[in-house]
């Protein structure tokens, strides 16, 4: 799209993409999560993408994207410690090769929430041996897979820590603040070292994490405790990670606890910053909840709530991008999407968020890419199979994929706003 002065706003090399994660599409018998969620007992292969990947990649070609973010399922690649499954590695290489044949650049995520079962049982993130295991896997992948320039080491490290170590709703299911801090140190140390490993094998690589950023607001503006929670959440979730990439030190201030400082070797270990953005969260002080925090979603903008009850708040994307621009490096929206059965809502959600990016570009923010979450309906970690984030609808009984109007809208949007 051109603005009134007829100047192109989205650069020619803007990365228009779609993001997925392996486990959410294909499951894996050796993954920790398969044993964690009973829903997967009935549908272990989920969309059967592992077998149907060629057809699914064709959908990307039809969409007209020029980049595709997907993850490697570690538990397929290393089903037992130190035992590498050649077939699985060849499978992911084939995905990369097919993408190149379609002129689509791969962006590969090494870790998207799941682990091999043995990793969780023997060396979970709060054990120091976790580092060597993850880095061995990283080196194996980076030295073996060909023609990948864009790498994401970890998807949403804070979500791993909150779910697995504070809330206990995801593996390893702990509620243990001291261990969460050890796990934080181990995960980010791995990021820093993986950054160097990737650059060793791929000198022109572009490496980041995908960080889930949210906008926080007090439930009642007049309530100083709600405001305190907003400030603490913003500090922890949005600020501390950005600060740690600038300084090499995490400053963690949980509500009503003394601040903790943790050194990690990640200073400047980023080539761009990946932002996953979905929603705004209102916070209410409630002494009966963990750390006194209750999360709320309110429909303040009048755009409604998603299928998962999340507020639709497109303006928040500008806010988090402006915040992330403190890193002074390219920003990529590595995920943005909506869970809904209503495809018109999906179209509106996408348009509103891309409009916000357009305004950010006009304001001079260095945004390089947008990845819609997600290609086809998939398994959603805590909500099972009914979230429906896909551009393509999946019938989980027949596994048939059917385009929603959001798929054709995304193609149109890509064409109209770029020179592809």
Residues that bind ligand BGC (CB under 6 A): 21, 24, 155-156, 159, 212, 276, 335, 373, 380
Query: What is the Cα–Cα distance from 41 to 38, expressed in whole angstroms?
Result: 5
- Return the bridge partners of 207, or none: 151
Is residue 233 within 8 A of residue 320, CB to CB? The reply is: no
Nearer to ligand BGC, 23 or 409 (CB): 23
Least separation, in Å, of the C-beta of 131 and ligand BGC? 22
Is residue 219 within 8 A of residue 226, CB to CB? The reply is: yes
Nearer to ligand BGC, 179 or 388 (CB): 388
Smallest Cα–Cα separation from 253: which of 237, 239, 234, 232?
232
Is residue 273 within 8 A of residue 324, CB to CB? The reply is: yes
Nearer to ligand BGC, 253 or 296 (CB): 296
Least separation, in Å, of the C-beta of 188 and ligand BGC? 18
Query: What is the Cα–Cα distance from 335 to 289, expressed in whole angstroms?
Result: 29
Phi-psi region of 392 (alpha: psi -120 to 50; beta: other; left: phi over 0): beta
Is residue 162 within 8 A of residue 381, CB to CB? The reply is: no
Nearer to ligand BGC, 250 or 372 (CB): 372
Q: Which 3 state secondary structure label does DSSP give 43? A: coil
Smallest Cα–Cα separation from 142: which of 208, 205, 81, 94?
205
Residues near 87 by beta carbon (within 8 Å), at least 6 away in sequence: none
Least separation, in Å, of the C-beta of 223 and ligand BGC? 28
Query: What is the Cα–Cα distance from 95 to 54, expressed in whole angstroms?
Result: 8
Nearer to ligand BGC, 120 or 202 (CB): 120
Least separation, in Å, of the C-beta of 210 and ligand BGC? 7
Least separation, in Å, of the C-beta of 402 and ligand BGC? 20
Smallest Cα–Cα separation from 234: which of 258, 215, 256, 260?
215
Least separation, in Å, of the C-beta of 373 and ligand BGC? 6
Least separation, in Å, of the C-beta of 113 and ligand BGC? 6
Least separation, in Å, of the C-beta of 169 and ligand BGC? 13
Nearer to ligand BGC, 170 or 411 (CB): 170
**Token pair listed for 237:** 């979730």
Nearer to ligand BGC, 32 or 156 (CB): 156
Nearer to ligand BGC, 202 or 281 (CB): 281
């Amino acid at each position: 799209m051109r603005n009134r002065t007829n100047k192109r706003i989205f650069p020619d090399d803007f990365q228009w993409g779609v993001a997925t994660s392996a486990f959410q599409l294909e499951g894996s018998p050796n993954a920790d999560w398969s044993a964690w969620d009973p829903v997967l007992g009935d549908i272990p292969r989920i969309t059967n993408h592992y077998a149907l990947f060629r057809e699914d990649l064709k959908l990307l070609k039809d969409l007209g994207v020029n980049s595709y973010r997907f993850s490697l399922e570690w538990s397929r690649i290393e089903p037992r410690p130190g035992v590498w499954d050649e077939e699985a590695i060849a499978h992911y290489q084939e995905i990369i090769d097919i993408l190149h044949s379609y002129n689509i650049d791969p962006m590969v995520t090494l870790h998207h929430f799941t682990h091999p079962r043995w990793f969780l049982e023997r060396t979970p993130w709060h054990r120091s041996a976790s580092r060597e295991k993850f880095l061995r896997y990283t080196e194996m992948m980076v030295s073996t897979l060909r023609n990948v320039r864009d790498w994401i080491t970890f998807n949403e490290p804070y979500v791993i820590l909150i779910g697995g170590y504070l809330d206990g709703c995801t593996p390893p299911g702990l509620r243990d603040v001291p261990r969460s801090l050890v796990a934080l140190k181990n995960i980010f140390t791995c990021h820093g070292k993986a950054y160097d490993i990737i650059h060793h094998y791929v000198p022109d690589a572009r490496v980041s994490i995908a960080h889930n950023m949210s906008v926080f607001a007090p439930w009642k503006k007049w309530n100083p405790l709600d405001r305190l929670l907003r400030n603490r959440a913003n500090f922890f979730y949005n600020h501390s990670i950005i600060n740690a990439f600038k300084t090499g030190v995490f400053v963690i201030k949980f509500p009503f606890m003394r601040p903790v400082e943790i050194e990690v070797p990640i200073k400047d270990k980023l080539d761009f910053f990946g932002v996953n953005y979905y929603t705004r969260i209102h916070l209410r002080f409630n002494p009966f909840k963990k750390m006194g925090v209750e999360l709320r979603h309110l429909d303040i903008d009048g755009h409604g709530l998603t299928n998962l009850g999340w507020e639709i708040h497109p303006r928040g994307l500008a806010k988090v991008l402006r915040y992330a621009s403190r890193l002074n490096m390219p920003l990529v929206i590595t995920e943005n999407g909506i869970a809904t059965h209503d495809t018109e809502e999906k179209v509106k959600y996408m348009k509103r968020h891309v409009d916000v990016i357009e305004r950010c570009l006009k304001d001079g923010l260095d945004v390089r890419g947008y990845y819609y979450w997600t290609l086809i309906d998939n398994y959603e970690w805590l909500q099972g199979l009914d979230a429906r984030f896909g551009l393509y609808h999946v019938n989980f009984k027949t596994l048939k994929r059917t385009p929603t109007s959001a798929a054709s809208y995304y193609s149109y949007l890509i064409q109209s706003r770029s020179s592809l």
